[in-house]
Chains A and B, each alone.
Chain A
Amino acid sequence: MRRLHLPARVLWLALLSPLPVARAAAPAPPPLMQALEAELARTAELRLPDAPPPYLVSYEVLDGEVATAEALFGALSSTDDGPYRMLRVDVRVGDYALDSGNFEGNFGDRSGTRMRLLPDEDEVLALRRELWLATDEAYKGATEQLSSKLAAREGSVRELGPDLLRVPPLVTEPALRPAVPVEPLEALVQALSARLQGQGLEEGRAVARSWQGVRVLASTEGHRAWLPTGFAVLRVEAATRAADGALLRDAVSWVVPTPAQLPPMAELEAEVDQMVAWLQGLRQAPVEEDYLGPVLFEGPAAMEVFRQLLAPELAGTPAPERPPEGFADGEQVPTARIGRRLLPEGWTVVDDPVAAREQGLAGGYDHDFEGVAAERVELVQDGVVRRLLMSRVPREGMDRSTGHGRSLGADRRVAMTAAVTVQPARPRSPSRLERKGLALARQTVQPYLLVVERLEPPALAEDFRVAFSGEAPLPGLTRPTRAWRLYPDGRREPVRGLSFVGVDRRVLRDVVLAGRVQEPRSELDAEPGPQRFGIGVVGGLPVTWSVPPVLVGELELHGAGGREQRVLPPPEIGLAGPVRTD
Chain B
Amino acid sequence: MSPIPTTSPRALAPPLFLLALVLAPPLWSHARADARPAPPADLDPLHAAVQAELLRSWELLQAQPEPAYWLQLAVVDRVTWTVQATHGAAGTWTEDHARLGDVDLRVGSPELDNTHKIRDAGWFSEEERARVDLPLQDQPTALRLGLWRAVDDSYRAAVRQLIKVRANDAVKVAAEDESPDFSAAPVTVDLRPSPPLVLDGEEWTDRVRQVSAVFLEYPEVHDSNVSFRAVDEVQHTLSSEGTRLRFPRRHLRVAVSASTTAEDGMQLEVYDYVDAASPDGLPDAETLTRMAHGVARRVTALRHAPLVDPYVGPAILRGRAAAVFFHEVLGHRVEGHRQKDEDEGQTFTDKVGQPVLPDFLDVDDDPTRARWGDTDLNGHYPYDDEGVASEPVSVVDDGVLRGFLMSRSPIEGFGRSNGHGRRQPGAAPVARQGNLLVQARRTVSYDQLRARLVDLVRAQGKPFGLIFDDITGGFTFTGRVTPNAFNVQPVTVWKVFPDGRPDELVRGVDLIGTPLTTFQRILAASDQSDVFNGSCGAESGWVPVTAVAPDLLIQEVEVQRKEKAHDRPPLLPPPGPASSTPREGT
Interface residues of A (CB under 8 A from B): 1, 38-39, 42, 45-48, 62, 64, 66, 71-80, 82-84, 86, 119-123, 125-130, 132-133, 136-137, 139-140, 197-198, 202-205, 211, 213, 215, 229-231, 365, 406, 408-409, 524, 526, 531, 533-536, 538-542, 564, 566-572, 575, 582
Task: Check if A75 sits within 8 Å of B1, measured CB to CB.
Answer: no
Q: Taking CB as reference atom, which chain A residue is nearest B580?
A: A1
Segment 129-159 of B: residues with Cβ below 8 Å from A: 133-139, 141-149, 151-152, 155-156
Known contacts A132-B572, A406-B1, then 6 further A-B pairs from the complex at CB < 8 Å, ordered by chain A residue = A75-B136, A120-B92, A202-B149, A409-B2, A567-B152, A568-B57
16 examples of A-B residue contacts, CB within 8 angstroms:
A72-B135, A74-B141, A76-B135, A77-B133, A77-B135, A82-B94, A119-B86, A123-B87, A125-B577, A129-B86, A140-B568, A202-B145, A409-B5, A539-B5, A539-B6, A569-B60
In the complex, what's the smallest C-beta–C-beta distance from B224 to chain A, in angstroms?
9
Task: Check if B139 sits within 8 Å of A48, measured CB to CB.
Answer: no
Task: Check if A119 sits within 8 Å of B5, measured CB to CB.
Answer: no
Select A119's contact among B6, B85, B135, beta carbons within 8 Å: B85
Which residues of B have CB within 8 Å of A72?
Answer: 133-135, 142, 145-146
B567 within 8 A of A: yes
Q: A408-B2, A535-B5 are in contact. Are A570 and B148 (CB under 8 A)?
A: yes
Task: Check if A213 sits within 8 Å of B3, measured CB to CB.
Answer: yes
B11 within 8 A of A: no
A137, B568: Cα distance in complex, Å: 10
Task: Check if A121 sits within 8 Å of B53, measured CB to CB.
Answer: no
In the complex, what's the smallest C-beta–C-beta distance from A33 to chain B, in angstroms?
15
Q: Taking CB as reference atom, which chain B residue is nearest A132?
A: B575
Task: Check if A536 sits within 8 Å of B135, measured CB to CB.
Answer: no
Select B86's contact among A1, A79, A126, A231, beta carbons within 8 Å: A126
Task: Check if B89 sits within 8 Å of A119, measured CB to CB.
Answer: yes
A290, B577: Cα distance in complex, Å: 72
Which residues of B have CB within 8 Å of A197?
Answer: 141-142
Chain B residue total in the interface (Cβ 8 A): 64
Q: Taking CB as reference atom, which chain B residue is nearest A71?
A: B135
Which residues of A have CB within 8 Å of B577?
Answer: 125
A207, B5: Cα distance in complex, Å: 16
Task: Check if A76 sits within 8 Å of B145, measured CB to CB.
Answer: no
B222 within 8 A of A: yes
| Shortest 9 CB-CB contacts between residues of A and residues of B | A75-B135, A126-B89, A534-B8, A119-B89, A75-B139, A123-B89, A539-B6, A536-B6, A75-B142
Q: Taking CB as reference atom, which chain B residue is nearest A73?
A: B142
In the complex, what's the smallest C-beta–C-beta distance from A245 to chain B, in angstroms?
10
Segment 92-115 of B: residues with Cβ below 8 Å from A: 92, 94, 96-99
Which residues of B have CB within 8 Å of A126?
Answer: 86-89, 212
A572, B140: Cα distance in complex, Å: 11
Select B56's contact among A86, A120, A571, beta carbons within 8 Å: A571
Which residues of A have CB within 8 Å of B506?
Answer: none
Q: Taking CB as reference atom, which chain B residue is nearest A204?
A: B145
Q: Taking CB as reference atom, which chain A residue is nearest B149?
A: A202
Task: Check if B137 sits within 8 Å of A75, measured CB to CB.
Answer: yes
Q: A46-B571, A541-B1, A582-B65 are in contact. Are A125 and B91 (CB under 8 A)?
A: no
Select A74's contact among B3, B89, B139, beta carbons within 8 Å: B139
In the complex, what's the smallest C-beta–C-beta distance from A80 to chain B, in angstroms?
7
In the complex, what's the smallest C-beta–C-beta distance from B29 to chain A, in angstroms?
9
Task: Check if B142 sits within 8 Å of A539, measured CB to CB.
Answer: no
Interface residues of B (CB under 8 A from A): 1-8, 52-53, 56-57, 60-61, 64-65, 85-92, 94, 96-99, 133-139, 141-149, 151-152, 155-156, 209, 212, 216, 222-223, 567-568, 570-577
Task: Check if A77 sits within 8 Å of B151, measured CB to CB.
Answer: no
A71, B135: Cα distance in complex, Å: 7
Which residues of B have CB within 8 Å of A229?
Answer: 1
Which residues of B have CB within 8 Å of A71?
Answer: 135
Select B91's contact among A120, A133, A137, A535, beta carbons within 8 Å: A120
Which residues of B have CB within 8 Å of A62?
Answer: 3
In the complex, what's the smallest C-beta–C-beta distance from B56 to chain A, in angstroms?
6
Select A211's contact among B3, B90, B152, B222, beta carbons within 8 Å: B3
Which residues of A have CB within 8 Å of B7?
Answer: 531, 534-536, 539
Q: Taking CB as reference atom, which chain B residue is nearest A411?
A: B5
In the complex, what's the smallest C-beta–C-beta distance from B75 to chain A, in angstroms?
13
Task: Check if A129 sits within 8 Å of B141, measured CB to CB.
Answer: no
Which residues of B have CB within 8 Å of A75?
Answer: 135-139, 142-143
Q: A62-B3, A71-B135, A126-B86 are in contact. Are A1 and B573 (CB under 8 A)?
A: yes
Task: Check if B149 sits within 8 Å of A203, measured CB to CB.
Answer: yes
A121, B93: Cα distance in complex, Å: 12
Contact residues of A: prevailing secondary structure: mixed
Task: Check if A86 sits within 8 Å of B3, measured CB to CB.
Answer: yes
Task: Check if B576 sits within 8 Å of A128, measured CB to CB.
Answer: yes
Task: Check if A566 sits within 8 Å of B152, measured CB to CB.
Answer: yes
A76, B138: Cα distance in complex, Å: 9
Select B575's contact among A66, A121, A129, A211, beta carbons within 8 Å: A129
Task: Check if B4 sits within 8 Å of A66, measured CB to CB.
Answer: yes
Which residues of B have CB within 8 Å of A215?
Answer: 1
Select B1's contact among A78, A211, A572, beta carbons within 8 Å: A211
Which residues of A have CB within 8 Å of B94?
Answer: 80, 82
In the complex, what's the smallest C-beta–C-beta distance from B144 to chain A, in angstroms?
4
Q: Taking CB as reference atom, which chain B residue is nearest A137?
A: B567
Task: Check if B136 sits within 8 Å of A79, measured CB to CB.
Answer: yes
Task: Check if B575 sits within 8 Å of A38, measured CB to CB.
Answer: yes
Q: Taking CB as reference atom, which chain B residue is nearest A538?
A: B6
Select A568's contact among B5, B88, B142, B151, beta carbons within 8 Å: B151
Task: Check if A121 sits within 8 Å of B139, measured CB to CB.
Answer: no
Task: Check if A83 sits within 8 Å of B53, measured CB to CB.
Answer: no
In the complex, what's the smallest C-beta–C-beta distance from B260 to chain A, in angstroms?
11
Task: Check if B571 sits within 8 Å of A47, measured CB to CB.
Answer: yes
Q: Which of A80, A197, A539 has the most CB of B within 10 A?
A: A539
Task: Check if B136 sits within 8 Å of A76, measured CB to CB.
Answer: yes
A64, B3: Cα distance in complex, Å: 8
Task: Check if A540 sits within 8 Å of B8, measured CB to CB.
Answer: no
Task: Check if B152 sits within 8 Å of A568, measured CB to CB.
Answer: yes
Q: Taking CB as reference atom, which chain A residue is nearest B567?
A: A140
A295, B1: Cα distance in complex, Å: 34
Task: Check if A564 sits within 8 Å of B156, measured CB to CB.
Answer: yes
Task: Check if A73 sits within 8 Å of B141, measured CB to CB.
Answer: yes
Task: Check if A130 sits within 8 Å of B86, measured CB to CB.
Answer: yes
Which residues of B have CB within 8 Å of A204?
Answer: 145
Task: Check if A78 sits within 8 Å of B136, measured CB to CB.
Answer: yes
A84, B5: Cα distance in complex, Å: 12
Q: A72-B145, A535-B7 are in contact. Are A77 and B86 (CB under 8 A)?
A: no
Which residues of B have CB within 8 Å of A73?
Answer: 135, 139, 141-142, 145
A198, B145: Cα distance in complex, Å: 11
A137, B3: Cα distance in complex, Å: 22
Select A123's contact among B53, B88, B148, B149, beta carbons within 8 Å: B88
Q: Which of A46, A406, A571 has the most CB of B within 10 A?
A: A571
Which residues of A have CB within 8 Å of B52?
Answer: 571
Task: Check if A48 sits within 8 Å of B568, measured CB to CB.
Answer: yes
Task: Check if A80 sits within 8 Å of B135, measured CB to CB.
Answer: no
Task: Check if A76 sits within 8 Å of B89, measured CB to CB.
Answer: no
Which residues of B have CB within 8 Å of A533?
Answer: 8
Task: Check if A568 sits within 8 Å of B148, measured CB to CB.
Answer: yes
Q: Which of B98, B141, B223 has the most CB of A within 10 A?
A: B141
Task: Check if A571 sits within 8 Å of B89, measured CB to CB.
Answer: no
A78, B212: Cα distance in complex, Å: 31
Q: Taking CB as reference atom, which chain A residue is nearest B65?
A: A582
Q: Taking CB as reference atom, which chain A residue is nearest B57?
A: A568
Q: Taking CB as reference atom, which chain A residue is nearest B94?
A: A82
Which residues of B have CB within 8 Å of A569?
Answer: 60
In the complex, what's the smallest C-beta–C-beta distance from B299 to chain A, in angstroms?
15
Which residues of B have CB within 8 Å of A541?
Answer: 1-2
Which residues of A have CB within 8 Å of B148?
Answer: 568, 570-571
In the complex, what's the smallest C-beta–C-beta distance from A462 to chain B, in angstroms?
9
A73, B135: Cα distance in complex, Å: 9
A536, B2: Cα distance in complex, Å: 12
A47, B133: Cα distance in complex, Å: 52
A363, B454: Cα distance in complex, Å: 73
